Structure 1
């Protein structure tokens, strides 16, 4: 008999789906202590959680026969993915179940902000009748900037169009073709923010999107802009937002998520009557909770019945033979995709992945999915997994091509990527060294040899005396130590490249300083 352990509250309909599996015992035990969880998980074949249960390495180690962990929601930061993957335990989530709920909550916040509904309601409940005080604005004819055109951002944009709004969209993977099909205008982040009457954010929280809306960017907004965040706390700098509200550059804000939750009682956001605050309710609808519960339950049933499944956050199960042949290349494939995401600028239109030698063995597309997870996951974080990466690429208009060859030009076993974007193209290649693991061995036609890990700084510049020294000086002044260096050129005095391995992240200010050096044509900070 199969045992399915449910340790967080999920909708009853999800439990019923699990109970429909023949020869399955479904145990719903919420509020377990760590010791109780370790005992309960020992003989479980599947575990279902939401956000309350923390699935640690110890929990996974204690699960002698665990096959799958299901998260009834999107984020899986409460699950030790690395430990699960090492033990061969699948982790699946429900990425689509709360899309409509989050989009509708965003729109509810935007309308409430435009018409002062919460403030007017408080006023009226307090015995006042202030019609003149709460004069609002219409959405029709206003410009909405949607920052992040994933599933939720796209649904918000569709609804805004119905309301007669002009929609501008920013997303690193938004192409002109897709923007046109949605009836919106593609814009850079700065342009979108500067022309908007309303701004709504729908990006994951990553190093790149943390404080994406900061004090500098808030100084560029149209006076009287209104800002909504139902995505992730930390995308907007809350203290900078308070300053902009104080000096009335921002006419109002509606926030469902916060940098630290729950929001502390003395937080300055609480003192503004033109700010609407809700306690992370984006996915809190009956339908959304039912959808995520049913979705994750159905996939668990498929896994336990050894049927095809979707929404695996870690790599789907491989046969022993596949694992043996592919595992050395999986890390290389993902690192190449991650490198390409940080090297290229502009929305990508196509990517060609070429496999040679052992890497070219038939693999059911696992390596290409891994490349795409690295490429797309840099921007979309938890939204991208090994199963949906290919579908996401297709929906984004990204053409994906696989090429398999028996032998590479230089290295017997090699993976190479060629990516085309609206701003140009890039090519990079990697291979495996038996002692030192995955290596980057070619970059935009220049041969190099650098580990595919850590923090790297890439420059393209004119080959002239003193260039390396000037870049090194900027890094030294910023207390950034250089651990390794590779340079390449085709001819003396022509174009050259440099790839530096450094000991810590390179700040945006240092990047801007290097960009100003005469002869520098490109600078990229890359973290693998």
Structure 2
């Protein structure tokens, strides 16, 4: 008898799908303490959660029979993915179920903001009739900047076009081809927001997108711009937004997500009449809750029946022989994809993945999907998994090519990625060392030898005296310790590269200081 444990509230229809599986019992127990969860999961074969239950390494270790964890939603921040993968537990999510709900909520917020609907409603209920006070603006003819062109951003763009808006899209992986197919204009972040009458954000919250809209960027916007955030709290600097609202640089804001939730009672955002606040309702529709519950339940049933499944967030099930052969190369492939994502300048239009030696054996596409998961997942966190990565690339207009060779150019066994972006052609090669695991052995044609983990700083610069010292000084002043260094050049006085392994993250300010040095052609902070 298979046991399916459900520890968070999910739609009844999802539970019914689980209950329909022959030979399975469904145990719905919400609000468990850690000790109660450890006891309940001991004999469970599947676990279903939303965002309330935290699935730690301790919980996973306590589950003797656990095969799959299902998250009824997109984000899996509450699940220890590394532990799940290490213990052979599959993690699946439901990335499609709330897309329409989030897009529609975004549009509801934008229309309400444009027409002052919430404050006009409150004023009318207070006994007033102030038609002249609440003169709004039309969406037709206005320019909307969408920051993040994943599933939700794409759906918002479709609706904005119907309303007659001019749409500008910013996304590191938005290609000209895909932008053209959507009828929108591709632009850089700063160009997009500078042109916008309305701005809406639809990116995941990462180190790169945290406070993406900060005090400095708010001052570059059109005076009177309106801003919507139904994505993640922290993408917009809330206190800086309040300052921009006070000075009327920003005419209004509609916010569904916050840096700290629930929003505290004395938060300054609560004090503005031209701010609309909702308590994280983006996915809160009957349809969305049913969709994510049904989607994750159906996938769990498939996993338990050993049938094909979708939306694997971590390593899919492999035979013992496949796992022994592929696992080291899968780790290398994902790291190379992640490195490539942070190296790229602009959206890659063509990606060529070359496998040599042992890595070239047929693998059913696992390695290429893993490269794409690392590459695309950096930007579309929560949306990209091993199953949908290739399809997502194709839909984004990214052409992917596999090449298999008997022997590599640098090492016998290697994986090499070459890709074209607005910034030109990049090439990245990695191999496996039996003693030290995955290594990066070539970067843009320069031989190097660095571990594919930790925090790295990469520069391309003119080969001239003092460059290494100047960069080291900036890092030293910022208390960033250098743990290792690789340099390379093709000829004296030409171009050179440097790859530094450092002990902690390098701040954008330090990156900016290094970028300003005469002779620096490119600088990237890369975290693996």
Post-superposition Cα deviations, 1:29-61, rounded to whole Å, max 9, x if no partner, equal 222222222222122111111111111212211
Cα deviation, residue 83, structure 1 = 1.2
Q: Where does residue 150 of structure 1 map in the other structure? A: 150
Contact 1:344–1:425 (CA<8 Å) still a contact in 2? no
The answer for the alignment partner of 2:384 in structure 1 is 384
Decide whether the 8 Å contact of 1:461 with 1:496 is kept in 2: yes
Is the CA contact 1:343–1:524 (under 8 Å) kept in the aligned structure 2?
Answer: yes
TM-score, normalised to structure 2's length?
0.98
Q: What is the match of residue 485 of structure 2?
A: 485
SS at match of 2:66: coil
| Kept in 2: contact 1:71–1:93 (CA 8 A) | yes
CA shift digits 1:468-501 (9 cap, x unpaired): 2222222222222221111111111121111111
- Partner of 2:321 in structure 1? 321
Q: Which residue of 2 aligns with 1:299?
A: 299
Matched, 1:435 2:435: yes
Deviations 1:348-388 (A, max 9, x none): 10111111111112111111111111111111111111211
- Distance, in Å, in 2 between the alignment partners of 1:427 and 1:475 is 27
Instruction: Tell me the distance in 1 between the aligned counterparts of 2:507 and 2:177.
Output: 34
**Residue aligning to 2:37:** 37
Q: Give the structure-1-normalised TM-score.
A: 0.98
Range moving further from structure 2, 449-458 or 139-148 = 449-458
Q: How many residues align?
A: 528
Residue 345 of structure 1, CA deviation: 0.5
Number of the residue aligned with 1:415? 415
Cα distance in 2 for partners of 1:433, 1:185 equals 45
1:526 aligns with 2:526: yes
Contact 1:144 1:196 in 2 (8 A): yes
| 1:91-490 alignment, distance < 5 Å | 91-490=91-490
State the secondary structure of the residue aligned to 2:382: helix
Unmatched runs of 5 consecutive residues or more in structure 1:
none
Aligned mates of 1:429, 1:15 — CA distance in 2? 46
Distance in 1 (CA, whole Å) between partners of 2:188 and 2:106 is 22
Corresponding position of 1:7 = 7
CA distance in 1, matches of 2:486, 2:11: 55
1:230–1:255 CA contact under 8 A, matched in 2? yes
| 2:512 counterpart residue number | 512
Distance (whole Å) between structure 1 residues aligned to residue 410 and residue 521 of structure 2: 28
- Mean Cα deviation higher: 380-389 or 334-343: 380-389
Counterpart CA distance in 2 for 1:509 and 1:69 is 40
Q: Which residue of 2 aligns with 1:53?
A: 53
CA displacement at 1:28 relative to structure 2: 1.5
In structure 1, C-alpha distance between the alignment counterparts of 2:211 and 2:125, rounded to whole Å: 36
User: What is the alpha-carbon distance in structure 2 between the residues aligned to residue 497 and residue 294 of structure 1?
Assistant: 51
C-alpha distance in structure 2 between counterparts of 1:261 and 1:288, whole Å: 21
CA contact (8 A) 1:332 1:438 kept: yes
After TM superposition, the structure 1 stretch with the greater mean CA deviation from structure 2, 508-517 or 404-413, is 508-517
Deviation at 1:116, TM superposition (A): 0.4
Task: Note the C-alpha offset of 1:516.
Answer: 2.3
Cα deviation, 1:9-35, whole Å, max 9, x if unaligned, reads: 111111111112111111212222222
The alignment's C-alpha RMSD in Å is 1.0
Cα distance in 2 between the residues matched to 1:266 and 1:176: 44
Q: Measure how far apart 1:215 and its partner are.
A: 0.2
Separation in 2, partners of 1:332, 1:293: 34
Match of 1:499 in 2: 499
Q: Point out 4+ residue stretches in structure 1 off by more than 4 angstroms.
A: none
User: How far apart are the structure 2 equivalents of 1:216 and 1:270?
Assistant: 23
What residue ranges of structure 2 are gaps of 5+ in the alignment? none
- Alignment partners' CA distance in 2, 1:519 and 1:54: 48
Q: Secondary structure at the match of 1:306?
A: coil
SS in 2 for 1:404: strand
Distance 2:423 2:82 in 1: 35
SS of corresponding position for 1:382: coil
